[in-house]
Chains A and B, each alone.
Chain A
Amino acid sequence: MRNDGMGVLSRGTIITLIAISFIFALAVGSAIFILEETKDDGNKDLVIYAYESFVTYGLAEAVIPAFEELYDVNVSIHTPGDMGVVLSQLELEKGDPKADIVIGVDNSMLHKAVSLNLLEPYTPLNIERLDPTFAFDPDHFIVPFDYGYIAMICNGSMMEERGIPFPTSVLDLANPVYDGQILLLDPAQSSTGSSFMIWAGTVAGEDHQGYFNGLADNANGKMFGSWDVMYALWGEGEAPIAISYGLDTAYEKMWFGTANTVTIVPEDEGYRQIEGAGMVKGANDPDLAKKFLDFILTDTFQEQVYNNYMLPVVPSTPIDPAFQEYGVFAEDHVEPTLPDLEENYEDWMDSWRNAFFGQD
């Protein structure tokens, strides 16, 4: 007679049940085990957050192993996205940061990082190696490691095909002649984008709203969150003109052997993006972080920044001949100082937002 409630299941059923639960528990257990193993930052000595192309372009590979060897440490690099995304990741982890070092805070984003209180200032021991032109950050929240001119890049054959004149000033881009011919970057997400906005905003001066409106009309909605996406689409022929860097023709020459890219940096209105690295506030290993910041201005690091298609900030560093030949540089610069930037940045952001998202 069977007892109601706690009755006996047949032996087969019980064995099957036990077997299934066992396999299941084993699967769950091993899944958790693998994931726990994956979480490797525990045995990493230095954790770096960087924007994506720091790794994808090979600079990381060129310098990080050298640093690891020098101090016999393990470094892990995390690249959550373009610089805006990196900063928001740091903001999320504020109070309990995982990163010791952030790489890629440039002169267009420094004020934001500082106002969010994400960085710990540090003056590297070899600061005298830095070319004084790049010392835009008197408090040393970051250590500059490379720089590059923001440029308008044109697809030479497409421009010819469409019979469009090459722009000679950044202001030209608002001209109706370029309607549907340009790709732009979202300054909220991309540091190249915010550099361009600052550059264009400075050149446009008082009438930045009118100028941005013209840009927005010409862009026809083609504004992207990431430089990499925009550059890929530009390469596919989405539009003949895009916002990029002064060494792009050199890049094409070195990689593809062709020189279809026409890179334009107006001589009298250059804007240099200066990229730096800084120590994250509350870093787990501040001493090692400082060593890394000292490492940035050494020859070992500086001689490798060409990987990033950028130029070194230590004057004595040799520069690739292709860069000399195909790179474009400006004579005069239109770079706002940090206080200027703090004053105008939100205005420019507002006009940009109005121009691009407020219209139909």
Chain B
Amino acid sequence: MKERWRNGREPFHKRMAIYSVPLLFLSFFCLYPLGLMMSYGLKTSQGDYTFENLKVVLTDAIYLKVIWFTFWQSGLSAILTLILALPGAYLLSAYDFPGKRAVMAATTVPFVVPSLVLAVGMIAIFGSGGNLNSLIDRYNSLPLADLDHLDLIGSRTLIVIAHIFFNFPIAIRILHARFVNMDPDLVRAARSFGAGKIRILFQVIIPQLRYSILSSLSLIFTFCFLSFGIVLLIGGLNHTIEVEIRSLFIALTGERFHHAGALVIIESLIVIATTLIYIWSSSKDRSREEVAFFSGPILKRKISPLAGVSISAYVLMVILVVFSPIIVVIIGSLFSGNDISSEFTFIWYERILTMESSAGMSITPLDAIRNSILFGFLAMVLSVPLSYLTAWAMVLRGGVSKRFLDMMLLFPLGASSVALGYGLVKAYSTGPIHLSGTWYIIVLVHAVIAYPIGARAIYSSMMSIPKDLARAARSLGASRFEAFFNIELPLLMPGILVAAVFAFAVSIGELGATMMVSSEEFITMPVFLYRTIEGAGRQLGPMYAYSVILIAITFLSFLSIEIIQKMFVKWGIRE
């Protein structure tokens, strides 16, 4: 089956017009500022070109340690995540059981919960005064029990744990889709030829899964490689390259500033490589999906007692992993001593919501909430059309140069957000385009980070529209507009909606770039949360309360996007 979008070779000027908008946007607000930061890595403090900074960064013990740690934790996090997610994805695809849909829905939670909130949850669970240590205390009050207190804040273990918490549901989603689409006839055939279970696993199932495994591995690796908020908050002395870049920018000392530039270059090269692996392997995945689409329904087995137990255990684990950081944060926000044994209270909410803008300080917690919602909305409005144009450009036919352009359009996926933010301010603080300190720099940077993800979502929608559909509508007398609004747009709506949700989610949760670009009056909820944590004084309660508010607002916003979409379908476009 061929797709309509691939088919038409648009005229040259039209292709240029489609490409030019996202490319211009990309060049101005991503490539130039990032390139500027990278160019510092290739210059001395006097401004002469040199490879010295790259050499220093690749030989100095401390920088090497940062690079190695970033690699190591990403690899380990990705592999462990996958090992945990594989059996779950299998169980979810092979069996039907009550609550399955709820479990699948739960796997979307990490897309919605900002990473900083997860880090707060980690403090609540694993911190010295956290839930696990109170459990240990309780256990130690038994005779003969003598467990050591957990001491995980600032440890590498906790970073890996946090990354698993964050990415595990994402891995389940990707792998589950693959399991569902797996060709069951192959398994049946293998079985009918007498192949054993283990042989089937290794010779039939795993080969079918290899691209999905590779694509989820590379995706999670990339996420962990660029991890910022989690590492900044709970990583202690362990810096990912991203955190190191920020601290070098802040250190302000001439030479180290140029080292930061060199680190941006190295980080970008690595992330471009892993992103390419991701794009390649998921494109392989897609071509197989089409095959699977026409094969019969998947095998649904009866639930044996063993499967029943493992499913329940697994479901419990998923729920624990996905929801425990949120639950502990909610509990922490509602009790005076941040755990259930203490008094129930709304004092933390009261404190954070009535915090006034004192002595001319221009920002209150409520201001940050308003800012986040406005930026989320505007970033969405800006990035969805960009996503749409980018996706449109990608489905056009063309040669190698076109594929290169497509890659370029997806470039922000792997960009260092800290360097992007800092670069934007550096590039546009003087001169005709003045961005530093404005509100639109935040909208711009969020749109830059969000639009490639949205573009991929809209691209898949476009690819799934049969080519003849619009043509058939036209031949039946529909105008071009009618064909678009009545036929294509409804089919593209799911993709556009995903793009919108992502843009909003990115905007409302983004920390690294926002921190670098936002001036005081425009700080967003995550930045404010980070500040609250910094200024927590002796109490963690207000920080928990604000985290809960952040989650709630994100959730409500998604809900309203969903409702708008429903209204769209109901009254809108189709009569």
Contacts and interface: CB of A to CB of B under 8 A. Distances in A.
Nearest to A46: B360
Contacts, number: 200
A6 B426 contact: no
A177 interface: no
Contacts of A8: 479
A125 interface: no
A55 B535 CA distance: 11
Interface string A36-62: 101111001000000011011010111
Contact of A31 (B154, B359, B374, B534): B374
A358 B65 contact: yes
B360 A76 contact: yes
Contact of B439 (A39, A116, A353): A39
For A4, A39, A236, A237, the residue with the greatest tally of chain B CB atoms inside 10 Å of its CB is A236
A95 B377 CA distance: 32
Interface stretch (B106-114, B178-186, B244-252): B244-252
B362 interface: yes
A228 B521 contact: no
B239 interface: yes
Contact of A9 (B61, B236, B485): B485
A320 to B, nearest CB: 20
B48 interface: no
Contacts of B425: 92
Chain A interface bracket (under 10, 10 to 19, 20 to 34, 35 or more): 35 or more
A93 B437 contact: yes
A236 B129 contact: yes
B477 interface: yes
A145 interface: no
A77 B344 CA distance: 36
B62 A357 contact: yes
Given A34-B370, A188-B250, A2 B575 contact: no
Contacts of B361: 55, 60, 76-79
Instruction: Give the contact-size bracket for chain B.
Output: 35 or more
Interface stretch (B276-284, B315-323, B536-544): B536-544
Contact of A98 (B61, B154, B478, B519): B519
A52 B531 contact: yes
B534 A228 contact: yes
Given A76-B360, A93-B437, A116-B252, A229 B480 contact: no
Contact of B360 (A64, A98, A116, A180): A64
A6 B127 CA distance: 64
A354 interface: yes
B250 A85 contact: yes
A243 B367 CA distance: 33
B128 interface: yes
A358 B571 CA distance: 63
A7 B481 contact: yes
B441 to A, nearest CB: 11
B327 to A, nearest CB: 20
A75 interface: yes
Contact of B519 (A16, A52, A65, A78): A78
Contact of B359 (A64, A112, A231): A64
B520 interface: yes
A322 interface: no
Interface in A255-304: none
A243 B289 CA distance: 59
Contacts of A334: none
Interface in B354-388: 358-362, 367, 370-371, 374, 377-378, 381
Given A9-B485, A112-B252, A236-B129, A28 B370 contact: no
A192 B267 CA distance: 32
A81 B534 contact: yes
Contacts of A98: 437, 519
Contacts of A17: 485, 573
Given A10-B575, A221-B237, A357 B65 contact: yes
A35 interface: yes
A26 to B, nearest CB: 12
A38 B538 contact: no
B49 to A, nearest CB: 23
A7 B155 CA distance: 65
A238 B239 CA distance: 21
A113 B362 CA distance: 25
A291 to B, nearest CB: 16
Contacts of A349: 253
Contact of A356 (B237, B437, B535, B537): B237
Contacts of B251: 84, 188
A232 B539 CA distance: 7
Interface string B50-87: 00000000000110011000000000000000000000
Interface string A1-32: 01111111110110011001000100110011
B24 to A, nearest CB: 21
Nearest to A68: B360
Interface string A82-109: 1011011001110110100000000000
10 contacts: A5-B480, A13-B573, A35-B371, A38-B521, A52-B535, A58-B358, A60-B358, A78-B361, A84-B252, A357-B62
Given A52-B531, A60-B358, A87-B252, 18 more contacts: A9-B479, A13-B485, A28-B378, A35-B522, A55-B359, A62-B359, A78-B519, A78-B520, A81-B531, A81-B534, A98-B437, A112-B252, A188-B251, A232-B539, A236-B128, A237-B128, A357-B65, A357-B66
Interface of A: 2-10, 12-13, 16-17, 20, 24, 27-28, 31-32, 34-36, 38-41, 44, 52-53, 55-56, 58, 60-62, 64-65, 68, 74-82, 84-85, 87-88, 91-93, 95-96, 98, 112, 116, 180, 186, 188-189, 220-226, 228-229, 231-233, 235-238, 346, 349, 353-354, 356-358, 360
9 tightest A-B CB contacts, nearest first: A7-B479, A78-B520, A235-B538, A61-B359, A60-B359, A232-B536, A35-B439, A221-B236, A221-B154
